[in-house]
Structure 1
Amino acid sequence: MTVQTDATTQGVTLTDAAVEKVKSLLAQEGRDDLRLRLGVAPGGCSGLRYQLYFDERQLDGDIVTDHNGVELVVDRYSMPYLTGATIDFVDTIEKQGFTIDNPSAQSSCACGDSFH
């Protein structure tokens, strides 16, 4: 496991809104041993699908960065697909939830669930 404190070395950024939402969710769960894990896996109509979830595991090759007290974990396989990505949290009438803006994605499906 590689631990980095400078979020820019990983290439994935969490917005302030995302950091606050993650902290709020962890506080609700009463857990301080979880990290936010971002990865990609084969699937969806465009070839790759994002995975974003809380995880307590530490896997060999994980890259961990600290974002104002929130640890973000990305596995070695997923990192090349996520360089420059930004995780945000939106809460509007039209949409609520985490979003991933990934400039490395060449295209995405109409539903926004997968990318290529």
Structure 2
Amino acid sequence: MAEITLTPRAAKRINEIMGAEPPGSSLRISVNGGGCSGFSYAFDVAQGREADDIVIERDGATVLVDAMSLAYMAGSTIDFVNDLIGQSFKIENPQATASCGCGTSFSL
């Protein structure tokens, strides 16, 4: 299965966010049913790891993705963007056939 890539900008922002969290905290990204396009991404701070978690690390930042979500995110790139609309994590998912304007939901 294709791996998930974390950009340097995303790693930097994750490190900034985790700096305010308890030591050992990680960013968890999961895929849930729902959203305007069928599936949506959820971003949470995790205090521990689950047995089926895939661990993505870059420049000291850690992202956790559960095995079920990995099936929907394989090959994706996680980036952090700062544009006129605001700041957000952006996931470029090669499996997505469509996505909504907000960029947090997609369909396969």
Q: Give SS of 1:77's match.
A: helix
Q: How many correspondences in the alignment?
A: 107
Structure with greater proportional strand content: 2
> What is the TM-score of this pair, normalised by structure 2?
0.86
Per the alignment, do residues 112 and 97 of structure 1 end up closer, same or farther by CA in structure 2, a change over 3 Å counting?
closer
Q: 1:10·1:65 contact (CA, 8 Å) conserved in 2? A: no
Match of 1:11 in 2: 3
Distance across 1 between alignment mates of 2:80 and 2:55: 20
Match of 2:92 in 1: 101
> What is the TM-score of this pair, normalised by structure 1?
0.81
Q: CA deviation at 1:12?
A: 1.0
Per the alignment, do residues 78 and 95 of structure 1 end up closer, same or farther by CA in structure 2, a change over 3 Å counting?
same
1:1-116 alignment, distance < 5 Å: 11-27=3-19, 29-116=20-107
Q: CA deviation at 1:38?
A: 1.1
Runs of 4+ in 1 over 4 A off after TM superposition: none
Q: 2:31·2:41 contact (CA, 8 Å) conserved in 1? A: yes
Gapped runs of 5+ residues in structure 2?
none
Gapped runs of 5+ residues in structure 1?
1-8
RMSD of the alignment, in Å? 1.8
Match of 1:5 in 2: none
Distance across 2 between alignment mates of 1:19 and 1:110: 24
Q: 2:9·2:80 contact (CA, 8 Å) conserved in 1? A: yes
Per the alignment, do residues 92 and 107 of structure 1 end up closer, same or farther by CA in structure 2, a change over 3 Å counting?
closer
Partner AA of 2:10 in structure 1: A
